Structure 1
């Protein structure tokens, strides 16, 4: 059996690590710094939750209001890390749900921009991973339904 080459030898980094020095990535004051940043961004306004993307955990909203009836939905005016799909328009369906649609997931028809209806919405996605997280209405109010809320 031939001896291993240099690229095949296993070298342990544990022998080279100095455990008496604290790691550079640890900052015991970081939580306090983060809290001050959030307070500055909110300008001391209350929020029902901090909303994040369910796929990549990117922060989407620091100030929102929970829906009174649908407790997993939120609305907001100021958002971060969101992009609007301007080439799609969603319209609520005025028809009763079809019998073939057993789960009731019909959100309305998707048309090209320019269709005139009373109430239209545009899809809103996470800017990082493109997961659809909600919609924006004609009054520029964001309605989030696919987000992870956390205590504010």
Structure 2
């Protein structure tokens, strides 16, 4: 017995362990019933109909489960791994969590206020986390104008 056979014994494999090539079992003269040679064209037409002729910079998917999140989005001008979208699918908003983000420093004496207050100083907006509805991975945020900002997604060519 050499070093490779240690612990394996010289038993013959059981029926469930026998290795048979899949090629030996497949009859290639018959097309599979689920095969569709025109599927790519049908998918392209479906996307075109969903977008109603509008273009997109990418199709966004969840990084954990690859579920489609947006078919129509715009890439951020400065941060190329971030996208924004209005029309999304398979996304859920965590309404119980809200945080503030400001693009400008608040002026002297002004701060971001609680979510219960209606007016906000310039540059301060309320954001809510957005998760994949399938696996709950956080993929971005939604702002007060109902624009989704994605930063944790996988983009693919539209």
How would you bin the TM-score normalised by the shorter chain? 0.7 to 0.9
Q: How far 1:18 moved relative to its partner?
A: 2.7
Q: Name which of 117, 136, 139 aligns with 2:142.
A: 136
Structure 2, unmatched stretches of 5+, are 1-11, 106-113
Matched, 1:23 2:29: no
Partners of 1:19 and 1:34 lie apart in 2 by 26
> CA separation of 1:17/1:46 partners in 2, compared to 1, >3 Å: closer, same or farther?
closer
Out of 9-18 and 58-67, give the one that drifted further. 9-18
Q: Aligned residue for 1:82?
A: 91
Q: Aligned residue for 1:124?
A: 130
Out of 119-128 and 29-38, give the one that drifted further. 119-128
Q: How far 1:56 moved relative to its partner?
A: 1.2
TM-score by length of 2: 0.71
Structure 1, unmatched stretches of 5+, are 97-112
After superposition, the CA RMSD in angstroms is 2.8
Matched, 1:36 2:45: yes
TM-score by length of 1: 0.74
User: Secondary structure at 2:139's aligned position in 1?
Assistant: strand
Whether the aligned pair in 1 keeps the contact of 2:142 and 2:149 (CA below 8 Å) is yes
Q: How far 1:12 moved relative to its partner?
A: 5.0
Q: Which is greater in Rg?
A: 2
> CA separation of 1:80/1:20 partners in 2, compared to 1, >3 Å: closer, same or farther?
same
Partners of 2:44 and 2:17 lie apart in 1 by 47
Partners of 1:28 and 1:8 lie apart in 2 by 35
Partners of 2:100 and 2:115 lie apart in 1 by 12
Partners of 2:116 and 2:68 lie apart in 1 by 32
User: Secondary structure at 1:31's aligned position in 2?
Assistant: helix
Residues 103-140 of structure 1: CA distance to partner in whole angstroms, max 9, x if unpaired?
Answer: xxxxxxxxxx9544731111101111111100001111
Partners of 2:16 and 2:157 lie apart in 1 by 50
